[in-house]
Structure 1
Amino acid sequence: MKKILILTIASIFLSLSMLSLNLATRPTMVLSDEIHDIILDTDFSMPPQDDALATIVALNSPKINVLGITTVAGNNSLEQATVDLLRFLEIVKREDVPVFVGSNMPLVHEVSDFAKSTWGKWWSDEPPSMPLGGFPKKKAERQSAVDFMVNTVINRPQEITIVAIGPLTNVAKAIRQHPDFAKSVKEIIVMGGAIATLPDGAGNATPNAEFNFWVDPEAARVVLRSGIPITLSPLNVSRKTKGSETWYEKVVSVNTPVTSLLKQTMGPEFEKDPEFIDLMYDQVAIMSLIYPDIVKTVDLYVDVDINHGINYGTSVGWDGIWPGAEGAKKIKVQYDLDWKKFIDLFIKEVSRPPITKND
């Protein structure tokens, strides 16, 4: 009898322990299945550019719901970025995704010598070039990018993530436009900056400045100092990537509208140069939203130099506040990447069958 009683009590304790364990693990299961409602802010260019590849991931992933895509001048003029994006959405059969036209100039209206000499059409009246397959029939929305951002975020506080993979002009304007915008954004994932205090922290637009921040340093500073929860994906982590023909061949081994586009746009690059390698910038930013464990992060105070000298547009990160950076906020900064895990998951996301509006 005593034996039976002991076994019964032990059985009850075991059941309670299992129940406790199940309850403790439930939140993790919920988090792993989270769907991210995002606004994608981009200076879009057709593949093989990184903006297009990041956009493919955002559109393909079942863990991301793209509420709208906003355009900004950067790699392209605003008009070219918008036309290319509209045509891209037609090609990949995602005409359902709304496009909102954003800012064609930085906050302080300074045309940098580098940008002017490299992309002279930025602020000219020259019409955009015809994208692949002709000009799009799909039109951009009448509402501006900034108004769309503000209205969407204010109406759904703490629900919307912004993924910003171009200059931060649109986001900075939204912060300035509505006093409650910053506190209503759930999170911003930013591709930008280069942190010299971490490995691989050199610039790419200047010796110290990364391109997106350098195009509009004032906007970058507004966003970084806003108090919005920010995860920064700087050049440091981009330089842990090594995009090559290997992943491309795996992606195009399946037949979808996306892979057909990649064959047309990226195939010729590898035909010319089988050793063609391009770093992955925006792709890391969007992938880290879906799979945060592929990157390592450190919390740093990050600010941007807005003095018009040789360090203009340079981002600086440190574990404490330094003189001149009294308004800087602590953010998460990505500094390392599990390349094997990243590229396997990236191939999986890009190769997915297309999600349609009715799915």
Structure 2
Amino acid sequence: MIKIKKRQNYIHIDSDPFTDVDDALAITLARRICGDKVVGITTVHGDVKLRARGVKELLGLLDWDVEVAAGFEKSIDGGKVWWKGDEASYVTYAGDVREDAIDLLKENLSEYSGKIDLVSIAPMTNIAKLIEQEGEEIIKNLNSIYFMGKVKESVDGIGQRESKYIPNSLAHNVNVDVDAANIVFDVCEKYNVPVYVVPTELCKEHWFEQTDWELIRDSGCEWSKLLYVNSQDWISRSQYADQGVSYLYDPLVLFGAVFDGVFEFEQNKNVFVAKSFLFPDFSSYLIGRIVSN
């Protein structure tokens, strides 16, 4: 029997939603388990305004009022964006969205200084741009960062950036903007801000199958149709189309940011890499939270 404890910090979610469905799942889970603590959601990479409109649509269906802002479309070096964010042609929200993600991040880090965790479930471009624009010390306002990504087993010191990360297709959030990850990890190390990393291979121990999505679709919840359409679009585009599964990367990270005791971590300086997930049958738990009214 594991002992978990709900943390009381505020949360800002930085995401690249409505490509893979896991971002939308994480946001829906946040509504269920920490809705009063989420103070902002920002989007990054590709069509960030469409991503933000998708978030606004989901929040409306969830009856949840949270500030949303679109961020940077491209990586720090202006290179190719792998997933363009224009996949979500099914998003119907047509209202205006904020386009000042850095301002929203700055507002939240200032207002909730020392009491806010950043759930980074996307490339770290917005966070790196925040550091560049506001100065390194802005990062000290964070209690911690929870990151869906991957680092080497031994995190090297500042000045050895080329060997710090594992830039391969299994670490998408690092690989698409290595420069941003380097900036964020280096500054967090400098100011001893904890970074909790949940690696890809651990997340891939948890997934939804098609029958799970059909259960969500048929639940009658107002938001279930949007999640289902997102899931089917993603599965058809992903490398796992033949398996018909979607992995629960981002909900796992969000869950760990809300509850202490669900991961076992290995520490290297200020970086904590999750080695095991202790919560039983997370996929069933997640379905239960999603379909509850």
Give the TM-score taking structure 1 as reference length.
0.65
Which of these residues, 107, 120, 123, is aligned with residue 164 of structure 1? 120
User: CA contact under 8 A between 2:43 and 2:71: conserved in structure 1?
Assistant: yes
Q: For residue 40 of structure 2, what is the aligned residue in structure 1?
A: 68
Instruction: Report 1:61-210 matches (<5 A).
Output: 61-62=33-34, 65-73=37-45, 76-94=46-64, 96-109=65-78, 111-112=79-80, 115=81, 119=83, 131-132=89-90, 134=92, 136-141=93-98, 144-176=100-132, 177-193=134-150, 195=152, 206=168, 210=171
Identify the structure with bigger relative contact order (alpha carbons < 8 Å, sequence gap 6+).
Answer: 2
Shift of 1:237: 1.3
Shift of 1:231: 0.6
Measured on the aligned residues, the alpha-carbon RMSD in Å equals 3.3
Instruction: Report 1:291-310 matches (<5 A).
Output: 291-300=259-268
- Once residues 291 and 250 of structure 1 are traced to their aligned partners in structure 2, the CA distance between those partners, rounded to angstroms, is 26
Q: For residue 288 of structure 1, what is the aligned residue in structure 2?
A: 256
Share of identical aligned residues, percent?
20
Structure 1 residues 60 and 173: alpha-carbon distance in aligned structure 2, compared to 1, 3 A threshold: same
- Once residues 217 and 87 of structure 2 are traced to their aligned partners in structure 1, the CA distance between those partners, rounded to angstroms, is 27
- Once residues 58 and 237 of structure 1 are traced to their aligned partners in structure 2, the CA distance between those partners, rounded to angstroms, is 20
Structure 1 residues 79 and 275: alpha-carbon distance in aligned structure 2, compared to 1, 3 A threshold: same
Runs of 4+ with deviation above 6 angstroms: 267-271
Q: For residue 238 of structure 1, what is the aligned residue in structure 2?
A: 203
Shift of 1:224: 1.2
Q: How many residues align?
A: 272
Q: For residue 273 of structure 2, what is the aligned residue in structure 1?
A: 333
Shift of 1:33: 4.8
How big is each residue's C-alpha offset from its partner over 1:306-353, in whole Å with a ceiling of 9 and x where there is no partner?
xxxxxxxxxxxxxxxxxxxxxxx4311112224634223322322232
- Once residues 154 and 269 of structure 1 are traced to their aligned partners in structure 2, the CA distance between those partners, rounded to angstroms, is 36
Structure 1 residues 349 and 178: alpha-carbon distance in aligned structure 2, compared to 1, 3 A threshold: farther
User: CA contact under 8 A between 2:124 and 2:174: conserved in structure 1?
Assistant: yes
Structure 1 residues 254 and 84: alpha-carbon distance in aligned structure 2, compared to 1, 3 A threshold: closer
User: CA contact under 8 A between 1:145 and 1:170: conserved in structure 2?
Assistant: yes
Structure possessing the higher radius of gyration over alpha carbons: 1
Report the more deviating stretch, 330-339 or 50-59.
330-339
The one-letter code of the counterpart of 2:97 is A
How big is each residue's C-alpha offset from its partner over 1:158-214, in whole Å with a ceiling of 9 and x where there is no partner?
1111111111011112223134311111111111125467xxxxx99736x611111
User: CA contact under 8 A between 1:53 and 1:283: conserved in structure 2?
Assistant: yes
Q: For residue 4 of structure 1, what is the aligned residue in structure 2?
A: none
Structure 1 residues 266 and 72: alpha-carbon distance in aligned structure 2, compared to 1, 3 A threshold: closer
Please tell me whether residue 342 in structure 1 is matched to residue 267 in structure 2.
no
User: CA contact under 8 A between 2:40 and 2:68: conserved in structure 1?
Assistant: yes
- Aligned to 2:280, the other structure's residue is in SS state helix
Structure 1 residues 216 and 261: alpha-carbon distance in aligned structure 2, compared to 1, 3 A threshold: same
User: CA contact under 8 A between 1:38 and 1:161: conserved in structure 2?
Assistant: yes
User: CA contact under 8 A between 1:106 and 1:215: conserved in structure 2?
Assistant: yes
The one-letter code of the counterpart of 1:41 is D
Structure 1 unaligned runs (5+)? 1-28, 123-127, 198-202, 301-328, 354-359
How big is each residue's C-alpha offset from its partner over 1:91-144, in whole Å with a ceiling of 9 and x where there is no partner?
4443x22211211122222x14xx4xx55x68xxxxx5773253x2432236x1
Which of these residues, 50, 53, 56, is aligned with residue 22 of structure 2? 50
Structure 2 unaligned runs (5+)? 155-164
Give the TM-score taking structure 2 as reference length.
0.78
Which of these residues, 4, 8, 13, is aligned with residue 40 of structure 1? 13
User: CA contact under 8 A between 2:75 and 2:180: conserved in structure 1?
Assistant: yes
